[in-house]
């Protein structure tokens, strides 16, 4: 015990010397989150904050602002780019307008499992997108959180076929690829800010929306939605970003702590999704929601989206060769 006490004291002294002993050097960084507490964003953000604080010896902390308190998710990209916001956790589609090559991860049916999501984000393609985002948007992706597939919920009826989707007013983010995906299914979706979505569902302005099970649960959409279609058209990635200017202003030691905390948050998020999604689905059913699979293994949905949407965005995401590189990395055949 005496040895442990001396070791702890020595470690504490070393951390203090590395990060500076004066209170003036301590900082509480702001982290914006679009979602409520209890979702994937919250889980990844908390893990990042916990590890980052530990790696800086408690000198630096993270204060989290949920439910879009600091602006819409796209607003937070702008704010981070100019250095007025430190960190943000947001859906990948809200980075795409600022760094279009990231759109490869929002092509419908590009990612078909958590395993593929991990391979793509942690492999060469993911590393290239981190560099592109720094260059294009002035923000650095430091962690990937994995939220699962965006399933379709609605208040009107079970939806199993594309015919069932007709006449359903669906809220989507202001993202061209996602809008075009719904168009390919014969639906005219309503682009809307995330912060307005629950109220719009509650008031019947829109009938439905798509987000992962964990978000439906965290946002209590079961209060205003009855039916879920178990789609797998888009695996939602929710990266943690840091302002590149803020990152560069930090000491090498703090930069290292940010990157290491990001790596740990990424690994934690993948396991968190694997551990919790089935339980959340069961709880949503217990709360009165009905979950249906698309008819015929989703084949008509897949055929319409990949044939009509993918070719439109080859140029913006870096060319068809980038798509084929992604497909090859997860063991799937190339497209022409």
pLDDT value of position 21 = 42
Report which of residues 12 and 89 the model is more confident about: 89
Residues 6 or more apart whose Cβ sits within 8 Å of residue 153: 208, 209, 210, 211, 216, 221, 225, 227, 228, 229, 289
Average pLDDT value for residue range 94-121: 96
> What does DSSP say about strands 28-33 and 87-89: parallel, antiparallel, or unpaired?
parallel
pLDDT value of position 336 = 80
Note the residue count of the chain.
Answer: 336
Count of alpha carbons within 13 angstroms of residue 17, beta-carbon side: 6
Confirm if 235 and 111 have CB atoms less than 8 A apart: yes
In this model, does residue 19 exceed pLDDT 90? no
Fold (CATH) for 27-146+237-277: D-Maltodextrin-Binding Protein; domain 2 (3.40.190)
- Residues 30-72 pLDDT 10s: 999 999 898 899 999 999 999 999 999 999 999 999 999 999 9
Confirm if 106 and 96 have CB atoms less than 8 A apart: yes
Sign of CA dihedral 271, 274, 280, 282: negative
pLDDT tier, 20 (very low <50, low <70, confident <90, very high otherwise): very low
CATH 3.40.190.170 residue window(s) in the chain: 27-146+237-277, 149-235+280-325
Report which of residues 79 and 174 the model is more confident about: 79
Place domain 149-235+280-325 in its CATH homologous superfamily.
Bacterial extracellular solute-binding protein, family 7 (3.40.190.170)
Alpha-carbon Rg for the chain in angstroms? 21
pLDDT tier, 151 (very low <50, low <70, confident <90, very high otherwise): very high
Average pLDDT value for residue range 144-173: 97
Confirm if 141 and 133 have CB atoms less than 8 A apart: yes
Instruction: Quote the mean pLDDT of the chain.
Output: 93
- Residues 248-301 pLDDT 10s: 999 999 999 999 999 999 999 999 999 999 999 999 999 999 999 999 999 999
Spatial separation of the C-alpha atoms in residues 121 and 116, rounded to whole Å: 9
pLDDT value of position 58 = 95
pLDDT tier, 25 (very low <50, low <70, confident <90, very high otherwise): confident
Q: Which of 54-58, 167-171, 215-219, 255-259 has the lowest mean pLDDT?
A: 215-219
Q: Among all chains, which residue has been given the structure tokens 């001396």?
A: 6
In this model, does residue 23 exceed pLDDT 50? no
């Amino acid at each position: 015990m005496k040895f442990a006490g001396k070791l702890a004291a020595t470690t504490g002294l070393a951390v203090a010397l590395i990060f500076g002993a004066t209170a003036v050097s301590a900082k509480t960084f702001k982290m914006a989150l679009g979602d409520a507490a209890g979702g994937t964003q919250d889980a990844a953000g908390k893990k990042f904050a916990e590890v980052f604080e530990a790696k800086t010896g408690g000198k630096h902390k993270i204060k989290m602002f949920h439910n879009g308190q600091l602006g819409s998710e796209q607003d937070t990209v702008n704010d981070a780019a100019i250095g007025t916001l430190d960190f943000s956790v947001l859906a990948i589609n809200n980075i795409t307008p600022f760094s279009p090559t990231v759109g490869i991860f929002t092509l419908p049916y590009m990612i078909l499992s958590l395993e593929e999501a991990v391979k793509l984000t942690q492999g060469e393609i993911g590393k290239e997108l981190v560099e592109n985002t720094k260059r294009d948007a002035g923000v650095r992706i430091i962690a990937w959180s994995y939220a699962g597939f965006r399933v379709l919920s609605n208040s009107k009826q079970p939806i199993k076929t594309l015919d069932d989707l007709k006449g359903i007013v669906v809220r989507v983010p202001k993202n061209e690829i996602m809008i075009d995906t719904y168009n390919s299914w014969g639906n005219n979706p309503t682009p809307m800010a995330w912060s307005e979505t629950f109220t719009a569902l509650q008031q019947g302005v829109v009938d439905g929306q798509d987000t992962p099970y964990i978000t439906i649960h965290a946002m209590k959409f079961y209060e205003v939605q009855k039916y879920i279609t178990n789609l797998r058209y888009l695996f939602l990635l929710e990266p943690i970003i840091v302002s590149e200017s803020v990152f560069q202003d930090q000491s090498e030691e703090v930069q290292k702590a940010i990157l290491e905390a990001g790596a740990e948050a990424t690994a934690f998020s993948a396991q968190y999704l694997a551990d919790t999604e089935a339980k959340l689905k069961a709880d949503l059913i217990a709360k009165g929601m009905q979950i249906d699979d698309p008819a015929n293994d989703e084949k008509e949905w897949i055929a319409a989206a990949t044939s009509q949407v993918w070719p439109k965005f080859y140029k913006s995401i870096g060319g068809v060769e980038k798509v084929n590189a992604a497909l090859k990395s997860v063991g799937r055949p190339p497209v022409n």
